[in-house]
A and B are shown apart, each in its own frame.
Chain A
C-alpha cells in the first residue's frame, strides 16, 4: 500500500501543495485528475524523486521512503523504447540496472513475449515493429521491473482512438492479470474515467483533493456508456466550478 502523508512543496514562495494526503489500496487504479497547472506534475516529480518535498513523507508498505525510485515502475503514453536496443534488450533494461541474473531475466522476458504476442520479435528493433507491438514491449519492460506499484504519467491522452484503446486494454491487463497497483496522474477526464477505480479530483493552487469518486469495477468501460457520460458531465461541472472559484 502506498500512502502519502502531509506532503508539502513550495516553489519560489508559492505553495504548490501543503499537507497533501493520499492513500492507494493495493491492486487498484488510483487516478489523480486535475486541470493543467494544478501542481500534479510537481507531485509526480516529488514521487519520482526529481524534486525534493519540503515536508511530509511517502510510505510504501508501511516503510518511509524518500521517493519511489527503485520502488515503482513507470509507464508513459510514449513507449519510451530506446531505438538503439532491440525489443528484448529494451525489456531487459530493468534487470540490467538492478544487476539481476540476465539469463533468468531473459527467460522471463521470453515467456512474457509469448504471452503478449511478441514471440519471435525479440531481436527486432523498435522502429521495425508496429506501434501496438511497441506498447506491448513497453508493458513487458514495466513487468520486468518486478514491482507492485506502477506510476502512469498521462498514459492515454493525446493518443489516437485505436492506439488509446489497445493501451487501455493493456493497462487493465496489468491490473487484473498481473495484480499491479496503478497510480495515474492526468488532466484528461476521459482517460481517467476509462481506467479509474478510485478517482481523486484535484483543486488548483494549492493542490488538494476536492472529492473522491469510487467507480464500479466493471471494465473495460466504454465511452458511450450513459452512466459514464453522466459522470463525466458532473466531474466537468465540479472542475469548472473549482476553476471559477479560483478566478473569483
Chain B
C-alpha cells in the first residue's frame, strides 16, 4: 500500500470513528444523526427495499448521459466543422448556462410527468454543456502542423475527423464526461425530489418525512457508491481508449 493510500484509509477510519463515538457519547437520537454502523446495517438490511429505487435512479442517470452524448457529440462536431454554426450557437449555449437548471426541475415534472422522462432530461440538460464544450475545445486544440499534414495528404474533413481530431480530443472529452457523470447523479435526484414515484431521491424524501434518518443516509450511501462506480467506469474507459496518453506525458518529463 502506498503512503497516500495508507493515509486516506487512516483518515477515513478516523472520521468514521469520531462520528460513531460522538453519537454514542452524546447520545444523539437516531432520528437526528444515526452512527455510521447503523447506516451501514440499514443500507444492507434494507437492500431489498432500496435496490428497485436505486435501479430506477441508475437507469435515469445512464439514460441521461446517453441522451446528453447523442446531442453533444454531433453538436460539437458540427460546430467544429462549420465555424458559422459555432458563432451562431455559442451565445445560446452560454445563455443556457445562465439559467439555473435546477429551477427547471418543477417545470420538467409538469411537462413530462412523474415518470423517468423528466429525470432523464434533467440529468442530460445539466451535463450536456460541459461535454459539448470540452469536446469542441479538444477538436480546436489540434496543432496546426497536424492539420497541414492531413490537408497535404488530401484527406477530407470526415477522414481527418476520424483519424486525427477525434482521437486528439478524446482526453478532453473524457475530462468533460468525468465531470458530467457525477453531476448527472445530482440532476436525477433533484428531479426525483420535485416529483416522482420511484427512485432514491423519492425514497429519501419519504424517509425524511417519517424521520427515518438512517434510511436517508442509507440512500445517500447507495447514491455515492453509484456515483463512484460511474466515475471509475469512465476512468476505465478513458484509460482503455487513451492508453498512449500517460506515456506521452512520461516522455515530456
Contact = CB atoms under 8 A, between A and B. Distances in A.
B42 to A, nearest CB: 47
B21 interface: no
A60 interface: no
Interface residues of A, number: 26
A72 B242 CA distance: 31
Interface stretch (A92-100, A218-226, A238-246): A92-100
A79 to B, nearest CB: 10
Interface string B134-149: 0000000000011111
Nearest to A151: B152
A80 B247 contact: no
A78 B147 CA distance: 13
A70 B150 CA distance: 10
Contact of B151 (A49, A83, A96, A125): A49
A153 interface: yes
Contacts of B242: 84
Interface residues of B, number: 22
Contacts of A70: 152-154
Contact of A83 (B147, B153, B248): B248
A25 interface: no
A69 B157 CA distance: 13
B153 A50 contact: no
A82 B148 contact: no
A153 B154 contact: no
List the 7 shortest-distance A-B pairs measured between CB atoms, nearest first.
Answer: A70-B154, A97-B155, A83-B244, A127-B247, A74-B152, A97-B153, A84-B167
Interface of A: 48-50, 68-70, 72-74, 76, 78, 80, 82-84, 93-94, 96-98, 125, 127-128, 145, 151, 153
Interface of B: 145-155, 159, 163-164, 167, 242, 244-245, 247-248, 250-251
